[in-house]
Amino acid sequence: MNLKLSALRAGAAVSVLALAACATGGKDLTAGDDSVNYKDEIGVFTDPSANGDMDPIAAASFWGSKYDQNPRDVNAAVAYSAALRKIRSNEEAVKVITRAANANAEHTGANLEAGRALVEAGRAFEAVRYFEKAAELSPQEWRVLSAFGVALDQIGEHKLARAKYDTALTYAPGSPLILNNKGLSYALDGDLSSAKQVLRAAVGARGADARVRQNLALVLALKGEMAEAERLARSDLPPQIADQNIDYFRALMNQPAYWQEFAADEVETPKFDDKPAPKKAAAKETPAPALKESATPVTPASANEAPMPLLKDGE
């Protein structure tokens, strides 16, 4: 079944945003925001090293000072860009790191970070050339390959993305971060059965975090398997936020029968011109912790290692 990316992003992907927000805290839980970035929408991991020991704001200040002292220091530029991404200053990160990557074309870390920053800024097409260069320089680096796959998924090249994930898995067998990204790639491509299978493997892998389990819960809900989806939703999240996610699952299932048809009959889903109906009650916004899982999630990861980040690329 061929499911267009635009359709899934309007429905399924946006519900993952709610899940990622719940899992990481401190984010708007409104499902109808079209401006959210890809990482948050599908809970992928682009940066395995996004979680550091330093407070994100302190890290941005520290590396910003280092960068200001010597803007030609490529390592400072990479670290500064990664720190800026953690505090959501994505456009500033793009300015810093693309300048450094263009001046240091043979530096794998700079090219990888440039690709990550561009993906987080919603500019995946531009990110591809930096990932291509990073992969050329370090063809066996799984973080590069996984991050490259995230960019390809964002531009709708799901088969190519999964080829990158498969190659990454040869260098990092059983990585829950890569398996998470691959499972979500199947979901974006409309193959929920394969998505479920791969995400189950991700959940069972050593190091799998709450975001991976919540991504599986989403896919199960879209397939109509609400009992297990609810169990997973409640396994990691505070009761109030888990209730909100479960209400969202049910709202999806109660919309004009296309999700039931999608799961049962393998038919194409319609394009969603309308935004999902707002939830009955909004959960209180939780203060953002000093250290974010961004996976992201999916909570998503940066030039360093880790996906468990905000951007978990190679995570």
Angle at the Cα of 207 (from 205 to 208), degrees rounded to 5?
A: 65
What's the token pair of residue 281? 């009650």
Q: Tell me the C-alpha distance between 68 and 84, whole Å.
A: 14
pLDDT in tens, 222-251: 888 989 989 998 888 888 888 888 887 777
> Residues 295, 46: contact at Cβ < 8 Å?
no
Token pair, residue 132, equals 């291509």
Local mean pLDDT, 10-residue blocks, the chain (315 residues): 39 37 32 37 51 78 95 96 95 97 97 97 96 97 96 96 97 96 94 96 93 92 90 87 82 52 33 42 44 34 31 43
Q: Identify the pLDDT of residue 51.
A: 45
Q: What is the pLDDT of residue 48?
A: 52
Q: What is the pLDDT of residue 7?
A: 35
Q: What is the pTM of this model?
A: 0.69
Domains annotated on the chain, with CATH: 5-313 (1.25.40.10)
Instruction: Tell me the one-letter amino acid at 145.
Output: L
Amino acid at 47: D
User: What is the three-state SS of the chain?
Assistant: CCCCHHHHHHHHHHHHHHHHHHHHCCCCCCCCCCCCCHHHHHCCEECCCCCCCCCHHHHHHHHHHHHHHCCCCHHHHHHHHHHHHHCCCHHHHHHHHHHHHHHCCCCHHHHHHHHHHHHHCCCHHHHHHHHHHHHHHCCCCHHHHHHHHHHHHHCCCHHHHHHHHHHHHHHCCCCHHHHHHHHHHHHHCCCHHHHHHHHHHHHHCCCCCHHHHHHHHHHHHHCCCHHHHHHHHHHHCCHHHHHHHHHHHHHHHHCCCHHHHHHHHCCCCCCCCCCCCCCCCCCCCCCCCCCCCCCCCCCCCCCCCCCCCCCEECC
Cα distances (Å, whole numbers) of residue 96 to 9, 93, 123: 29, 5, 15
- Confidence (pLDDT) at 249: 76
